[in-house]
Amino acid sequence: MALRVRVISQQLCPQPAASKSLEEIVSAALEDAGKYTADLDELKAGGKMPGSTYYDFMQATNHLLLVTAKRDLVPLLHASEQEGGLALTKVLPGPWDEAHSISEKAGLLQAVQKAFAEGSNVQQIAAWQQKFGKRGLSSNLAVPQVVNRGSGSQIVTRVDTRVIVADPDDAARLSRIHVQKDGQFEAALMSSVISTTDNTEWRAQRKHLTEAFLPLSSLAQIMPVSFARAASCAERLMSAATGGTPVDMSDFKLHEAQAQLQLALLGLPEDLMNSVNAEMRSAFHGNPGSNRKNALADAMSKIIASLENQKQDLTLPSSGCPVKGPLSKVLNTAELPPASFYGNLLLILFAGHDTTGHTMTWLLFELARNPLIQSSVQAEVDDFFRGLDGRDPNYQDLSRLPLLDRCITETLRLWPAVANGTFRRLQFADTVKGADGREVHLPKGTLINIVNWSRHRNPEIWGQDANDFNPYRNFEASEVAHVGCPMAAVNPQSPRFSPFAHSPRSCLGRNFAQMELRVIMLNLLRSFSFSLAPPYDALYSSKISTTDLSTFHGVNRFTMGPLDLERQGSTVWGKRPLIGLKMIITHRQNPGGP
């Protein structure tokens, strides 16, 4: 194991941190791996909360263990070939077409792992679709990968073929029918609602947790808390932008999304939110050297203690928060096993803020690059507030923002927060379209990845302006969310569009995310105009490529954020890009005036 980590660290980390030798990095990585494995075993066996999380572990090791040494891949490859795990590479196109020797095949497996570690896997897939597929970005591919299933000491590692599903009809059909997940997220999220492979357990968890996200019975009740926090968010931005100082809107938006989640949805005290917010964001993004060790696990312990205090009297408001968070109530009454409770809380804290924070950042990025559209949205926002006659908006008022709705939809198309889409396992044999458009048989148990990135940017589906921000494009009625009305709970989706995944295993928190997006953007666009700060101002007229990593692009670390052009490659060691987006904030004069 030590030799494997040493070999990989030499490949990925050519310049170790000045304060650490390579031997120290390897030793620490191995120690952290052992502790994390033991923690998960104790959680499953006795319910003891872990002293570290998957994100703490990845941050501490700088993702060293995500790439397997070739010497360890060879026996996995031989075993997979003997078991038929690579058979689909013979009937579907993909990069295996050019991998002939065992060394080339092992190198390809490493290339897939490295792309995941660097956050470039969806661009890698799109490039392979264009190179090997005969149907462009609609091509379904066969891509062998190293897959892990299980958690703790029960993790099983093998090489298997994952079918990348990009054909829109195949994507919608398979998502609807095959709801079983493939188990790859259990190491991080245990048996949470998003990661469990047990369909019965998934349905039971989802049925209970859904109550917290019902638009009228839940979200409408926390709208005052959400709007008040959004108003203070605008005040904080005004202070941060004093004197024309550029503001990292990626970090700002992620902070506010986490604040909304903790204050409104979980009902946590504001002082607790302020004490844990920054380190939680750093751990989720895996920036090495920027955190105390196991800072996220420490934050989780504090949050769990606060939730336990709320359990004592669910009828009283939380300390420092006037409305009881609906998600706290359902978590406290769900009677989940400890591993499921822990996994769901970790999932909510990560996916519940990262997805929304990145979407808001990308929306501001596109509005800054399209100032005429930004002005039109601001005019709509001004009309919205004039129509309130001085009162705060309620949940139903959010239905009166048609252009903002379209801008959010177009942002979710161009920059899907979950660009990976969803990972499933076929519950029975099925088919997908092959290179010539004819059906190819897939056996039961096949791993599939229904990817969003290339499908959302496919010019054959969306037109030649597929890479352009155009909120006026001809969306289908089912693709635009209907927030604030009786249709608010309907998942925005179509065969070509699934930012929250297709139903029935769609994103549990999408209704809260849709409300949060609008509440925060209303307050910011009412008060400010946004433009790109150097060096991002060079992107005003540039085209964003679906595949080219040599230019500005999204970094897909489970969720997709903007590449930090100032600091890319300047992590403590290695060359993993960081996330950031600096903007110039201009205070609007007399917004909403006559």
Alpha-carbon distance values, 185 to 164, 517, 554 (Å): 17, 27, 22
Q: What local confidence, expressed as pLDDT, does residue 467 receive?
A: 96
The model's confidence at residue 134, banded by pLDDT at 50, 70 and 90, is very high
pLDDT by residue (tens digit) across 417-474? 899 999 999 999 999 999 999 999 999 999 999 999 999 999 999 999 999 999 999 9
Percent of the chain surpassing pLDDT 90: 58
Rg (CA), the chain: 23
Q: What local confidence, expressed as pLDDT, does residue 3 receive?
A: 45
Length of the chain: 594
Q: What local confidence, expressed as pLDDT, does residue 290 receive?
A: 56
Q: What local confidence, expressed as pLDDT, does residue 13 receive?
A: 46
Q: What local confidence, expressed as pLDDT, does residue 536 receive?
A: 96
Strand pairing class (447-450; 156-165)? parallel
Whole-number Å distance between alpha carbons of 492 and 416: 13
Give the tokens for residue 562. 């903007």
Residue 119 Rama label (left phi>0; alpha psi -120 to 50; beta):
left
Which helix (H) or strand (E) element contains residue 204?
A: helix 199-209
566-579 mean pLDDT: 60
Cβ-based neighbours of 327, under 8 Å, separated by 6 or more: 209, 212, 213, 265, 266, 267, 348
246-268 mean pLDDT: 88
pLDDT by residue (tens digit) across 320-354? 444 457 888 888 887 889 999 999 998 888 877 88
Whether the pLDDT of residue 10 is over 70: the answer is no
The model's confidence at residue 592, banded by pLDDT at 50, 70 and 90, is low
Q: What local confidence, expressed as pLDDT, does residue 17 receive?
A: 47
122-150 mean pLDDT: 96
127-152 mean pLDDT: 95
Bond from prior residue into 337 cis (ω within 30 degrees of 0): no
Residues β-bridged to residue 447: 162, 425
Q: Can you spell out the DSSP letters for 46-65? A: H-PPPSS-HHHHHHHHTTGG
Q: What local confidence, expressed as pLDDT, does residue 478 receive?
A: 95
Cα 9–chain centre separation: 26
Q: What local confidence, expressed as pLDDT, does residue 21 receive?
A: 67
Q: What local confidence, expressed as pLDDT, does residue 241 receive?
A: 87
Which helix (H) or strand (E) element contains residue 389?
A: none
Q: What local confidence, expressed as pLDDT, does residue 291 receive?
A: 60
- E strands, 379-490, are 422-425, 430-433, 439-442, 447-450
**Fold held by 204-308+326-416+506-528:** Cytochrome p450 (1.10.630)
Alpha-carbon distance values, 36 to 30, 194, 508 (Å): 10, 21, 28
Count of CB atoms situated within 10 Å of the CB of 147: 19
Q: What local confidence, expressed as pLDDT, does residue 589 receive?
A: 82
Q: What local confidence, expressed as pLDDT, does residue 317 receive?
A: 35
Bond from prior residue into 471 cis (ω within 30 degrees of 0): no
pLDDT by residue (tens digit) across 54-108? 888 777 666 666 788 899 999 999 999 999 999 999 999 999 999 999 999 999 9
The model's confidence at residue 413, banded by pLDDT at 50, 70 and 90, is very high
Whole-number Å distance between alpha carbons of 440 and 443: 10
Q: What local confidence, expressed as pLDDT, does residue 505 receive?
A: 95
- Known binder of ligand: residue 507? yes
6-14 mean pLDDT: 45
What's the chain's average pLDDT?
A: 88
Whether the pLDDT of residue 530 is over 90: the answer is yes
pLDDT by residue (tens digit) across 20-47? 666 776 677 778 888 888 999 999 998 9
Percent of the chain surpassing pLDDT 70: 89
Domain map (residue ranges) of the chain: 62-197+422-468, 204-308+326-416+506-528
The model's confidence at residue 6, banded by pLDDT at 50, 70 and 90, is very low
Count of CB atoms situated within 10 Å of the CB of 345: 22
Share in percent of the chain as helix, strand, coil (round to 5) = 55, 10, 35
Whole-number Å distance between alpha carbons of 311 and 322: 16
544-553 mean pLDDT: 89
Q: Can you spell out the DSSP letters for 277-324? A: HHHHHHHHHT-TTSS-TTHHHHHHHHHHHHHHHHHT-TTSPPTT-SS-
